[in-house]
Amino acid sequence: MARLIPLTVLAVCLYFWFKSRRAAKAGGSGSSTAGSARNKNVEAAASLGLLPADRLDVEEINPPSPERAAATATVRSGDWAAGAAYVEEAGRDWYERDRRISLLAEAAVEDDAWLLAWRRERPEDPAAAAVHACSLVYLAWEIRGSKQARHTTQEQFASFHRVLEQAREAFARAQELAGDDPTPFIDELPLAMGLGYPHEAFERIWTEIEKRDPHHFSAYGSGLQYWCRKWCGSHEAALAFARRGAEKGRPGQLLTLFPLEAYFEQESYESDIEPQEFYNRPEVVAATDAALADVAAAEQVLDARDPRIVQTRHLLAWMLYWQDRYEEALAQFRLVDGHIGCRPWTYSGDPKARYTKVRDYTAAEVLKKRG
């Protein structure tokens, strides 16, 4: 769906307890020596023009989009026709259509009067059906909340599961109307994770996606999450899925991000992995190099702030940092600094602290090497 990976809200909430178990190379100790080192790292980052911690946005990966803000405001005013037009303007750019549908779905959670009117006026409109299905998943999480299970009432759980089942039915209807649009199939994948669809059910959905858009970035993002060990698969299954996508993708489609995500998911999940060793394995370094080349190709055809490029840069910065490739890591940090609301930073209980430790340490190492 929208943002980084379809229905990221679902993944984050279901995995609310999950945090990285290791500090970055720059962090950890509370000693005065460690504090002095951290201060020097902060100074190094500042001297290179990187932003102070209090200016970092941990919710988004890009500055606010006036176009997207206007679309949200328009539908909330009751103008559903403008929302319908906004979706249709994406044409057959399925990635962008997915983002727009998800944006409207989020808006519908707060007030769905305009969506109800849209569906009444156009009961066969595939965009309205897709927005409705997606909005039910967001609504389910509003009901569930982000607290741990012991702080969630039975009534909340019951309502949560009831709405998710309604979402499954709504996706079935949206898929009937979709034609060659892969969006309602892609956006069902987080339900496959959350409700624990068997592998056969996932494969049926995936077959429909591949018929319509075999290289869809967001589809691979959600598909990878499904196959992760924390959801419905294993480390091996997730990596195999990611590698298949990377092999199929053309230069600039950025499907090379997903092997990196698979490695990151494994390292984050397992408490006994030493990241310095793990991320320097030859296959991980090779995957990092492939993603760097892919970003260079993507820059020729996509806007520099395209979410696909930005996501990839964030994870590249993390990989290059662990591989002691500080100049290359710094180049990525310079291009994404300011908005850090994505992996790997959001897998920490304090995303800003994780980001600044890694970034500032990188800056200090670059200055040290430059002399």
Question: If DSSP states are collapsed to H, E and C, what string results for 296-323?
Answer: HHHCCCCCCCCHHHHHHHHHHHHHHHHC
User: Looking at the structure, do residues 283 and 172 belong to the same domain, yes or no?
Assistant: no
Residue 76: pLDDT band with limits 50, 70, 90: very high
Each residue of 91-118: pLDDT tens digit?
A: 999 999 999 999 999 999 999 999 999 9
Residue 89: pLDDT band with limits 50, 70, 90: very high
User: Looking at the structure, do residues 285 and 356 belong to the same domain, yes or no?
Assistant: yes
User: Looking at the structure, do residues 135 and 209 belong to the same domain, yes or no?
Assistant: yes
- Last residue of some domain: 213, 248, 275? 213
User: Looking at the structure, do residues 262 and 339 belong to the same domain, yes or no?
Assistant: yes
Instruction: Check if the beta carbon of residue 285 is closer than 8 Å to that of residue 323.
Output: yes
How much is the pLDDT for 198? 98
Each residue of 196-211: pLDDT tens digit?
A: 899 999 999 999 999 9
User: Looking at the structure, do residues 82 and 196 belong to the same domain, yes or no?
Assistant: yes
Residue 193: pLDDT band with limits 50, 70, 90: confident
Nearest to 308 by CA among 224, 348, 252, 247: 252
Q: How far apart are CA 149 and CA 3, in angstroms?
A: 26
* Averaged pLDDT, 68-73: 96
User: Looking at the structure, do residues 363 and 219 belong to the same domain, yes or no?
Assistant: yes
- Last residue of some domain: 213, 239, 258? 213
How much is the pLDDT for 14? 44
Q: How far apart are CA 247 and CA 218, in angstroms?
A: 16
| Per-residue pLDDT at 156 exceeds 80 | no
Residue 371: pLDDT band with limits 50, 70, 90: confident
How much is the pLDDT for 252? 98
Cα→Cα distances 30→55, 193, 274, 348, 357, Å: 24, 39, 21, 18, 14
> How large a percentage of the chain has pLDDT more than 90?
80
Q: How far apart are CA 75 and CA 66, in angstroms?
A: 14
Nearest to 193 by CA among 1, 329, 39: 1
How much is the pLDDT for 135? 96
Domain of residue 148: give its range. 65-213
Whether a cis peptide bond, with omega within 30° of 0, leads into 344 is yes
User: Looking at the structure, do residues 181 and 256 belong to the same domain, yes or no?
Assistant: no
351 vs 157, residue with greater confidence: 351
Each residue of 249-282: pLDDT tens digit?
A: 999 999 999 999 999 999 999 999 999 999 999 9
Cα→Cα distances 58→61, 100, 268, 306, Å: 8, 22, 19, 18
User: Looking at the structure, do residues 37 and 51 belong to the same domain, yes or no?
Assistant: yes
Average pLDDT, the chain: 91
Question: Is the alpha carbon torsion for 202, 204, 207, 208 positive or negative?
Answer: negative
User: Looking at the structure, do residues 279 and 362 belong to the same domain, yes or no?
Assistant: yes
Instruction: Check if the beta carbon of residue 241 is closer than 8 Å to that of residue 214.
Output: no
How much is the pLDDT for 303? 97
Residue 151: which residues within 8 A CB-CB, separation 6 or more? none
The residues pairing with 31 across neighbouring beta strands, listed in sequence order, are none
CA dihedral 169, 171, 172, 175 (to 10 degrees): 160
Say how many C-beta atoms besides its own lie within 10 A of residue 53's C-beta.
Answer: 13
User: Looking at the structure, do residues 126 and 22 belong to the same domain, yes or no?
Assistant: no
- Last residue of some domain: 213, 234, 250? 213
Question: Is the alpha carbon torsion for 193, 197, 201, 203 positive or negative?
Answer: positive
User: Looking at the structure, do residues 226 and 363 belong to the same domain, yes or no?
Assistant: yes
The tokens 């299954």 sit on which residue?
237
pTM score: 0.89
30 vs 59, residue with greater confidence: 59
How much is the pLDDT for 149? 59
Q: How far apart are CA 286 and CA 71, in angstroms?
A: 41
* Averaged pLDDT, 26-42: 72
Q: Return the structure tokens found at 164.
A: 């998710």
What burial letters (b/e) apply to 59-94, b meaning 16+ CB within 10 Å?
A: ebbbeeeeebeebbebbbeebbeebbebbeebeeeb
The tokens 């996606």 sit on which residue?
209
Structural domain count, the chain? 2
How much is the pLDDT for 35? 78
Each residue of 292-350: pLDDT tens digit?
A: 999 999 999 999 999 999 999 999 999 999 999 999 999 999 999 999 999 999 999 99
User: Looking at the structure, do residues 154 and 261 belong to the same domain, yes or no?
Assistant: no
